[in-house]
Chain A
Amino acid sequence: MNDMSNIQMSPRESNVISIIRSHINRNLKNRLTHLGHILASLLLLGSLLGAEKTTLHLWHPMPAPSRAVLNDLVAEYEAQHPDISVHLLYKENEEVRMAYMSATGFTEGGPDLLYGPSDFTGALVEMEIVKPLESFFSEAELAAFDPKGLTWYQGHLYQIGDELGNHLALVYNKRLFAEVGLNRPPETMQELIEFGKKLTIDKDGDGDIDQYGLVWNFTEPFFFMPFYASFGGWVMDADQNPTLNNEAAVKAFQFVRDMRDIHKIIPVECDYDIADSKFNTGEAGMLINGAWSWAKYMDSPHVDFGLAVLPINDETGLYPAPMIATKGYYMNPYLSGEREKQVIDLMKFLTSAHAQFEYASRLATIPTRLEVRERPEIAEDPIIMTSIEQVSHGKAMPISPQMRAIWDAMRPAYQNVLGGSMTPEAGAAYQQELAVQKVAELYEGQDADKDAVNITAILVYLAGLLLALWALYKLFVAFILPLMRGVPGVQVQESRFGVLMVAPAALFIFGVVVYPFFYNLVISFSNMGLTTVNDWRIIGLAQYGKVLTDSQFYYFFLKTIIWTVVNVVLHVIFGVMLAMLLNRPLPGKGIIRVLLILPWAVPSYITALTWRGMFNIDYGAVNIILNKFFGIEPISWLIDPFNAFVAVIITNVWLGIPFMMIIALGGVQSIPQELYEAASIDGASPWQQFRKITLPLLKPVMIPAITLGIVWTFNNINVVWLVSNGGQPGDQTHILVSFVYRAAFNLYRYGYAAAFSFMIFLMLAVFSVKFMQKNKATETAY
């Protein structure tokens, strides 16, 4: 690197060198801080003295089987290029998108390469965080690709695909087909239903179905799409306007619903994991699933794997058209010079014929390079042949950002139809209306007048400045001043000591919170959204206005209040009750106490997911227990909006009781026994004793815990999000925090979300200050 310093460099290039340097430094620092691995740092030092190694970062959402191929390819590449090490980081599809956007869009950092489906393109381009690639490839190089494998958008090439994928097809279990005398997959939708009926079997005659004809993740719009297309519908027109309210939508809704309710060939409740698990264990004859999943079923001992195209719609004569997404590589826009060359080289390797052949031969994916597709091992592979045929029926997934708004609009409407709260007609109208609204939200802020003298901006900044000055003044009066001179009535040393003792903790807490807090405050006055990430401006109170005029805000506010009150009340009641039961000599008390605390000890993201599983209509323990012991018919916990909300509350009640129980136990144990004895002598009943002695003496202990409990519960996004799988059904199982999270990260409404968060914050702050003042929670005992 030293010999480069005497070459004249553009600022961009020197910037790159500093990036590389800081990368290396950072690497070094990481390993050095890692106390347990002194050896590793010695090795690194050794390698620094020799050749400098460049680490290239690649983030990807590949599932385990593809990940294995990628690992092998990267190992091969590293062997060929000793000066380069490629670091892979796996994240889920949505998470990899969000993480890339935060890292690249907001800090100009991020990985060198991003792998993902082509529908990332629109949003990445709008945010200006992806580099056009056409100048790095010759025409001949590009001509070797299937045009579908190269993602162009607004005249530039942004993604080089290595696979045409994500398309759904019909997977079937030949063994189960043979058992009912079938020897081929269905070719029409009539046959699909007919075969489905044959394959739907109640083996032990107990009235519960043990094997379903067809399973798939049918509540997700992506998995519904092929049927919509088979009735002649599509998500948007040529101008990217949503086209969701039509006869095709009504008929397709009807069709899926009939399969469930009239033909009864699909389970009432079926998400991805259930469908996958049922098919994989031989409990379902057919499955509609995407190319990414097939490899797994080929290996399953319960499945004799068969693949077929989705059967033709008899009524329209159209084939279902699954959405096809090109999967491939995007490049970070902040690269240049040597590093850029290295990254391009890596990208070329990973999309080369050799790499694509590896994927195709091991996982039966469809290569984007035509030469690979023509190789006999690939061309004659029956799975790839079917897969290619299915792709020929498919349609490319739109890559414009509007698609995200359309998914978000379809999901609630479709799930409402499935849940029975909307007719297919109403559902079609509703999804169109929502889609139009959400597309507008996606582009909000774009029309703000850019040249006008911005008085609101000046006002906001001025107000911010005043606020900051006021905070500094307060800080000065509260902390600095007492350090310098005494406070009347208190010794100088005394208060100085007090402040010094508080200061470190205060620094930590506010060091972490202050910047994020003010960042959100500023953003909440801005128009920051998808198209304005890089040139957002202060627009005043408009976002707050939007929040306050949004009926959803009030709806979810009400829901949040119900959620908080029900939860905290039940936590306290059960907590105090258990504490009262345990507050006596009792053999085995110790072990009982520990068992009762367990829900607190296990991380809540684990137990919340477990509860979600337990609420499954067929396989969930809750329904099984209700049915076995109480003879209650299965309750559809997760597809009915009201039940889903109850399910979320049950989970959180379970989680929160131990905390209140412990607090209450500490409280009741400190109440002197003599008080009860005296009361007994006076003839007070146990209930009177509880009301006159226990409750009043418990109150000072419980009030702070309740205050905290309210704040925690009000903002507890984790449980709601995990149990309802992000707000399902129909985006209704939300509290304010989960709703705002969805708005911010699904439709990129950063300004709106920040304003929304401030409304939440203000409401909570006002409430708890009042609540605490009323109950004097900050008072000490002395």
Chain B
Amino acid sequence: MKKTSPLQYIMIYIALFLAVAWSIFPILRVITISIRPGDNLLTESLALIPDDWTFDNYIKLFTDHPFGRWIWNSILVTITVVVTGVALASTAGYALSRFRFPGRDASLLSLLVTQMFPATMLLLPLFIMLSSLHLINTYLGLIVIYSSTALPFCVWQMKGYYDTIPYSLEEAARIDGASRFMAFYKIILPLASPALVITALFSFMSAWTEYIVAAQVLWYKEMFTLPIGLKSFQANMTTEWGLYAAGAMIVSLPAIALFLFLTKYLIGGLTLGSVKG
């Protein structure tokens, strides 16, 4: 690529500035609503910080609602899901990348196929299933469902990453006497850490932000996860928008923070296909 000229730099920055403005503007609106007093949803002002800004909504979340409890519940569920998701995706992805066993192609395809049935139609039978397994009002049911939500994608992307790691590394380890599993665990897994981070991130997102299944499974307000807690501010006719926006920011913050720290892993780690290089 040729050297970038100053004029080109200016053009690039202008383009990037527009793109950034477009990408963060709606999120800034959520922040603005969350610090507006009362339920004053409407304004023609584009100001980021309203003149009469206040943190009342944030305070109310914790004083009037068991928001702290919900955060804790969500953390508990999410951590379990992340651990399960990483364990399952890293092993399955490895096998699909390295072994040519019968059913391998079918497995890869069927992973994708599970994403194709309209998810809303799976809800009712899922509920019936959980109910007959006595998993209503438990976190176990949620954890199993959440773990498998992101799994097809994670397996695919782990496989894609393993594909970029030369086979010769394991062979060397095997020659030195390591078992198949040890070669995977000691040599390949550490090398695949960028992809593991991404799998963890996806598992995190699917557990941290989900509310539709959770709303069906959990009946106790004390057991709510953060997103259904948030959903309970949203009523048919009487949504408490200020509270909703404040809650939304709290749900988003950990996710934003994670993306912030993990961007460099995301790039290059997120390889669904084969990148040779």
Contacts and interface: CB of A to CB of B under 8 A. Distances in A.
* Co-assembled chains A and B: yes
Q: Which of under 10, 10 to 19, 20 to 34, or 35 or more describes the interface residues of B?
A: 35 or more
Contacts of A744: 120-121
Given A493-B180, A584-B1, A602-B256, A670 B275 contact: yes
DSSP majority for the B interface? helix
Contact of A520 (B98, B125, B148): B125
A240 interface: no
A705 interface: yes
A296 B238 contact: yes
B10 interface: no
A277 B255 CA distance: 30
Contact of A498 (B72, B84, B99, B153): B99
Interface in B137-177: 137-140, 144-145, 147-148, 151-153, 155-156, 159-160, 163-164, 167
B54 interface: no
Contacts of B134: 22, 26
Contacts of A30: 137-138, 220, 223
B96 interface: yes
B42 A508 contact: no
A574 B277 CA distance: 24
Interface residues of A, number: 159
B259 A598 contact: yes
Nearest to A711: B115
Contact of A497 (B155, B159, B180): B180
A61 B236 contact: yes
Nearest to A714: B116
- Counting chain B CB atoms within 10 Å of each CB, the highest count among A22, A272, A757 belongs to A757
A602 B46 contact: no
B227 A515 contact: no
A536 to B, nearest CB: 13
A305 to B, nearest CB: 16
B174 to A, nearest CB: 11
Interface stretch (A429-437, A585-593, A640-648): A585-593
A510 B145 CA distance: 11
B158 to A, nearest CB: 10
B181 A497 contact: yes
Interface string B93-131: 011111111111111110111111111111111111101
Nearest to A478: B103
A597 B201 CA distance: 13
A701 interface: yes
Contacts of B33: 613
Contact of A666 (B122, B236, B275): B275
B115 A504 contact: no
A630 interface: no
B29 A621 contact: yes
Contact of B211 (A292, A605, A654): A605
A276 B237 CA distance: 9
A502 B159 CA distance: 11
Contact of A490 (B76, B101, B215, B267): B101
A610 B237 contact: no
A780 B163 contact: yes
A581 interface: yes
B271 to A, nearest CB: 6
Specify which of A624, A663, A779 lies most central, judged by the most chain B CB atoms within 10 Å of its CB: A663
29 contacts: A36-B76, A64-B235, A99-B216, A274-B41, A277-B42, A293-B237, A490-B101, A498-B95, A502-B95, A504-B88, A512-B144, A513-B148, A519-B125, A584-B4, A593-B263, A599-B26, A601-B258, A605-B227, A606-B251, A610-B26, A616-B42, A654-B23, A666-B271, A708-B153, A711-B116, A737-B118, A754-B121, A760-B117, A768-B116
Q: Identify the 4 closest CB pairs spanning chains A and B, nearest first.
A: A478-B103, A498-B99, A501-B95, A505-B92
Given A106-B124, A744-B120, 5 more contacts: A22-B134, A30-B223, A64-B240, A505-B155, A702-B273
